[in-house]
Each structure stands twice: as C-alpha cells, then as structure tokens.
Amino acid sequence: MDNWSAFVHLSKRAGLGGEHLAVLQQWQKQGYEATVQSLVNPVASDTPASAAHTAATPAAPAAPAVTTAPSTFDLTADIAPPAQEHKGTLGPDFARLREAWITRMVQTRHPFLEKMTLFWHNHFATAESKVNSPWLMLQQNNTLRKNALGSFRQMLLDITADPAMLIWLDNARSTKKAPNENYGRELMELFTIGLTYTQEDVVAAARSLTGYQLNRQTGQVRFVAARHDDGVKTLLGRTGNFGPAEVIDILLASPHCAPFVTGKILQWFVHPNPPAAWIDKFARVWVQQDYHIGRLMQAIFLSDEFQSAQAVGSLVKSPVDFVIGLVRSTGVNLPARQLDSALTACGMQLFNPPNVAGWPGGQTWINSATLLARFNFAYQVARRLDTTAPAAAAAPASAADIASTGAHGGTGDPRMDPLLQEALILQPSAATLQALRTFAASASGHASLAQLRYLLWTAPEYHIC
C-alpha cells in the first residue's frame, strides 16, 4: 500500500468514515506512525474541528456548522436530570441528545475517540427505549468516552455501576434475597468471554454482582453491603467471597476474554471475519499491555494485517461512517436534525440499538430500505454542495470538463481525480469510471457536478471501507 492510500484507509477505519483531504494532507506531513500516536492518545479536552483545522492546517475548510444541536458538548444545562424528567414526554430530550452526539462527531478533532465511543456503545449496547432517561444515557455516553482508549478493566468496573446499565440489564433490582441473572449472563456472554460459561457460573456471577442501589430521582448509585450476597461462590473454577471487582478480575483472567473482545474489535476495524491467527496475535498483545485499549489499537493500526489486501475494502460502512463521513470529508453544512433522520433511516438510531447484542453490522447494514435511505442522503448532500463552493479546492469546473479529459482510468487525470479523491475512492471499478465518463459526456454546466457526485456516492465502492 502506497503512502497516500495508507492514510485514506486509516481515515476510513480510525476516523468516522473519512476525513477531508486537507486533514489527510496534514496527516501525511506528520507521518503515519505519528498520526496513529495522535489518534490513540487524544487530549483530554475537545474543540470543534474548525478551531483545530485553523491551528493545524490553515488551508483546511471550516467544520460544517451543525446548528440545531448545542454548540457545546456539555449537555448539563440542556438535558433534564432524572428528578425533572417527565416520563412519556422525553422525545425532545432524546432527540437533543442524539443531535448533540452527532454535532460532536461532525466537529470533533478527535474522530477516533468518537469511533471508539461508538464501538463501546455497540459493545455495551444499552437502549433509551428501556432506560427512559436521556440524562442517564448521557452519563453512560460520557463514561464510555472516558474509558474508550484506557483500561478495559476500569471500563468494566464503571459500566457495571453505570445507572443506565443497571436499569437496562436489571441489576438495580438484584439483591441478596433475589439475585437477577441478566447482567451476570451478558457480562460474560456479550462483554467478556463469550459462550464459554455454565449456568452455575451465571448464578455465581449474579450473586457476586448484588448490592447496587439506584436512586431514580437523582441518578446516584450506591453499593449497599446489606443488599450484597457475601457468601462463598464458585465462578469459572475459582471459589471465594466474590464481589463485582473480583468477578471482573476472574473474567479478565479467563483465556477466552482477550480473544473474544479482540475478535469483536477486529471485526469492527479490520476485517468482518478476521483469521484466527490475527485474533490470537492481537489478543496476546492486549494481555501483554494489561488490557490497555489504546495500546491495542495502536498495535492494530501499525500492523501489516491492518494494511493488507485482505483487510482493505473488506468492511461495509456503518450508517455513521456513511453519513458522518460524507459530511466530514466534504465540509457540507447540514443541520444535526437532518443527520439524525438520515442515520435512523439508514438503520442506526444512536442510543437505541435493537437489543442487548447491539447492531449486527456488516452486510446487514444494506437492504432495500437502507440503501434507498443512503441514496436519498447522498442526493441531499450533492444538492447542497452544488449551491455552494465545491468541497475540494481542486474540483473541476464542470462535468463537461471531466468528459474532455479522455480515458485515464481515474489515475492521474487532473480533473477527474479530484472528485474521486474527495470521495476517498482509491480504486474505482471500470463500471464506475465508465458511468462517470458517460454521464459527464452528456452533461454540461456546473449544475451537473451535483449529479456526478451523486453517481460517485451511490457507487458500490463508496459504501465499503
């Protein structure tokens, strides 16, 4: 893989579906390894991409002005705390919450942090439909972001005591007298070790995880010793008086934990069906790094496996990768409410995964309804760009200009390639190039560029990464 292709590939996988060309050029100047270092080690604070672009790359465009969500990422004043929530009328607050995260995704200068937060949102899938509290869903989102690139052990400790999770998997109702098995089962099956446990392990985990008490009026969680089962339990072959921390340590020590979670990470970032050798390699790296998430991701992005021909172009873009990636790579200005509607139509309403297993992803992202939704959104963006300056500074003046350049196969044509570069399509198929040339030859005027972009964004190559 050549140098430029490596950065395009990185932007699609470690970014939110793709970055603006000016950002990629800045990455290229910085160097691949240094770019990976900066992605996996984001600074604590966040600012809109416009400010970051101004500081790092004067020629880069301002970030899209997504104006229907709060300009700040602190929603404390915008989302009602639990005591002030009016059950049954929470739709506006949930919409505001989704739009705020969308705004952050569009404007952030740390796209990988948001990508990892989204991954963990899917991994620890929790839905507003049951939690019924925008405030608590916001707190969980902040918890996922805080731990997204840190210690997986701390992530598990925090998510176990998370108010939204306590409601979602019923552990807030689990007591010494009546332990609830839901969270203990999913903690093992979906969050750590997969289907490698017994029903006796579920019972032991449920007993060990008793003791949490949630105040729905304040959202505060306490561990109450009187509610905790302090008897002896046997979990995965170990016996003792276990509490939540001991359960997590036992699960992390299981030989199944690192391969199971690493496999899910590789499916999200590298390949839909990662070879067993890849899983084994990176699982061992993760254990050696004491389950530090950022260091695992750094090892993955710097690996030959990540840049291999087997991995490149093997994933179907998620709705976030498609919608947010299109916005970030073009700099188009669209309201957050419109982006929220597009994500939902494409099959991914944030804060509302379909079940505890999350969105299945992969080829399930594409069906007749969601593909039509993608095409509709591509049309909306193309029309908006057609009434403003082209996103790429080197974009051709008209589709007719493209037709006049002749057959260059999309490699080196000074007027064809800018649109392909804007779309971050490295290897357009012969069919796509022929469609572009055929349309360009029959079109004239600047207005046809919108249709040309639409052709690109609805091409199969644009929906993989």
- Give the tens place of pLDDT for each residue, 325-383: 999 999 999 999 999 999 999 999 999 999 999 999 999 999 999 999 999 999 999 98
pLDDT band at 438 (very low <50, low <70, confident <90, very high): confident
pLDDT band at 421 (very low <50, low <70, confident <90, very high): confident
| Per-residue pLDDT at 463 | 97
- Picking from 286, 255, 270, the residue whose alpha carbon sits closest to that of residue 155 is 286
| Per-residue pLDDT at 394 | 41
Among 13-22, 40-49, 305-314, 319-328, the minimum mean pLDDT is found in 40-49
> What residues contact 2, with CB distance under 8 A and at least 6 apart?
none
> What residues contact 217, with CB distance under 8 A and at least 6 apart?
82, 83
Among 1-10, 37-46, 154-163, 301-310, the minimum mean pLDDT is found in 37-46
Residue 47 reports pLDDT greater than 50: no
Among 12-16, 93-97, 255-259, 432-436, the minimum mean pLDDT is found in 432-436
pLDDT band at 68 (very low <50, low <70, confident <90, very high): very low
Q: Is 44 exposed, middle or buried (0-12, 13-18, 19+ CB in 10 A)?
A: exposed
Percent of the chain with pLDDT strictly greater than 90: 71
pLDDT in tens, 98-116: 999 999 999 999 999 999 9
> What residues contact 83, with CB distance under 8 A and at least 6 apart?
217, 218
158-293-41-11 Cα dihedral, nearest 10 degrees: -120
Residue 241 reports pLDDT greater than 50: yes
Residue 159 reports pLDDT greater than 60: yes
Token readout for 337 is 């409410």
Three-state secondary structure string covering the chain: CCHHHHHHHHHHHCCCCCCCHHHHHHHHHHCHHHHHHHHHCCCCCCCEHHHHHHHHCCCCCCCCCCCCCCCCCCCCCCCCCHHHCCCCCCHHHHHHHHHHHHHHHHHECCHHHHHHHHHHHHHCCCCHHHHCCHHHHHHHHHHHHHHCCCEHHHHHHHHHCCHHHHHHCCHHHCCCCCCCCHHHHHHHHCCCCCCCCCHHHHHHHHHHCCCEEEECCCCEEEECHHHCCCCCEEECCEEECCCHHHHHHHHHHCCCHHHHHHHHHHHHHCCCCCCHHHHHHHHHHHHHCCCEHHHHHHHHHCCCCCCCCCCCCCCECCHHHHHHHHHHHHCCCCCHHHHHHHHHHCCCCCCCCCCCCCCCCHHHHCCHHHHHHHHHHHHHHHHHHHCCCCCCCCCCCCHHHHHCCCCCCCCCCCCCHHHHHHCCCCCCCHHHHHHHHHHHHHCCCCCHHHHHHHHHHCCHHHHEC
Q: What is the mean pLDDT of the chain?
A: 86
Mean per-residue pLDDT, 271-290:
98
Give the Cα separation of 108 and 120 in Å (integer).
18
| Per-residue pLDDT at 392 | 44
Q: Higher-confidence residue: 169 or 396? A: 169
Write the CA distances from 109 to 112, 228, 299, 328, 333, integer angstroms.
9, 43, 22, 11, 17
| Per-residue pLDDT at 58 | 24
What's the number of CA atoms in the CB half-sphere (13 Å) around residue 77? 6
Q: Which amino acid is at 299?
A: A
pLDDT in tens, 2-22: 788 999 999 999 999 999 989
pLDDT band at 55 (very low <50, low <70, confident <90, very high): very low
Percent of the chain with pLDDT strictly greater than 70: 82
Token readout for 308 is 């291999």
CA 3 to chain centre: 25
Cβ atoms within 10 A of the Cβ of 188, count?
A: 26
pLDDT in tens, 292-308: 999 999 999 999 999 99
Cβ atoms within 10 A of the Cβ of 52, count?
A: 19
Token readout for 6 is 């490596």
| Per-residue pLDDT at 350 | 98
Q: Higher-confidence residue: 65 or 338? A: 338
Q: Higher-confidence residue: 301 or 43? A: 301
Q: Higher-confidence residue: 321 or 60? A: 321
Among 62-71, 147-156, 252-261, the minimum mean pLDDT is found in 62-71
User: At which residue do the structure tokens 């709705």 appear?
Assistant: 319
Residue 411 reports pLDDT greater than 50: no
Residue 388 reports pLDDT greater than 70: no
| Per-residue pLDDT at 447 | 43
pLDDT band at 57 (very low <50, low <70, confident <90, very high): very low
| Per-residue pLDDT at 403 | 42
Mean per-residue pLDDT, 113-128:
98
Write the CA distances from 403 to 172, 395, 410, 450, integer angstroms.
64, 14, 12, 15
User: At which residue do the structure tokens 């207005």 appear?
Assistant: 447
Residue 399 reports pLDDT greater than 70: no
Write the CA distances from 459 to 114, 390, 399, 431, integer angstroms.
26, 20, 17, 9
